[in-house]
Chain A
Amino acid sequence: TQLLEQSPQFLSIQEGENLTVYCNSSSVFSSLQWYRQEPGEGPVLLVTVVTGGEVKKLKRLTFQFGDARKDSSLHITAAQPGDTGLYLCAGATGAGSYQLTFGKGTKLSVIP
């Protein structure tokens, strides 16, 4: 069973602070996705990274895929209350089924 470990599990910060969320596995993934989920809603895709060492930026969010394609990080600069939510990483196995293995998520609260 391929597992994705996310850390920290909970994060509460003040508006304007920076933060990093980590997603680690002992398995290699062909691609990795980051989702954000708000209460009562389904996860919404933020980014997909496919190449080892790849860095993608989405406004104040920076995503990195590890060189070995086993880990990833999400860095948020100058967090805002609107960033509050559950951040999930999900890995694709590349086995042809396109199913995703999800981490348990990081629950972020940004306090005004």
Chain B
Amino acid sequence: DSGVTQTPKHLITATGQRVTLRCSPRSGDLSVYWYQQSLDQGLQFLIQYYNGEERAKGNILERFSAQQFPDLHSELNLSSLELGDSALYFCASSHMARDGAEAFFGQGTRLTVV
């Protein structure tokens, strides 16, 4: 158990819909990262938050957004869903005490868009 909790574990939704994925980081970790993992692209960095503020953006579509709340949990919002958005979405957290800080991953949310 990494200490990072993601909900829900599975999500099936229709094209055009909007979903919210939730992540609770490890206790004491201030940094949260979101990654998308698909079969053809591997793990792709989407976005990072540190102590409530956006820190870095990766390959995140404009239809996607995220935020980190005062209690440090984070949500990833995916809207106008397309079939190609089907993937595993992982949240990771780190204390960010140093460069390349160890990131602990949650078990992921498997999103299926039908």
Query: Which residues of chain A have C-beta atoms less than 8 A from B96's C-beta?
Result: 98
With A30-B100, A31-B100 in contact, is A42–B90 under 8 Å at CB?
yes
Q: A41, B102: Cβ atoms under 8 Å?
A: no
Contact residue range for chain A? 20 to 34
Q: A99, B100: Cβ atoms under 8 Å?
A: no
Query: Which residues of chain B have C-beta atoms less than 8 A from A35's C-beta?
Result: 105
CA distance A45 to B114 in the complex (A): 33
Q: A44, B48: Cβ atoms under 8 Å?
A: no
Which residue on A lies nearest to B41, using beta carbons? A104
Q: A30, B99: Cβ atoms under 8 Å?
A: yes
Which residue on B lies nearest to A31, using beta carbons? B100
Q: B94, A98: Cβ atoms under 8 Å?
A: yes
Query: Which residues of chain A have C-beta atoms less than 8 A from B66's C-beta?
Result: none
Q: B102, A31: Cβ atoms under 8 Å?
A: no
Q: A105, B100: Cβ atoms under 8 Å?
A: no
Q: A100, B102: Cβ atoms under 8 Å?
A: no
With A30-B100, A42-B2, A48-B102 in contact, is A98–B48 under 8 Å at CB?
yes
With A88-B43, A98-B96, A105-B42 in contact, is A45–B31 under 8 Å at CB?
no
With A42-B4, A42-B90, A99-B33 in contact, is A104–B105 under 8 Å at CB?
no
Binding site for B on A (CB under 8 A): 30-33, 35, 40-45, 48, 50, 88, 90, 92, 94, 96-105
The 6 closest A-B pairs by CB, nearest first: A42-B105, A31-B100, A92-B100, A97-B56, A104-B42, A102-B43
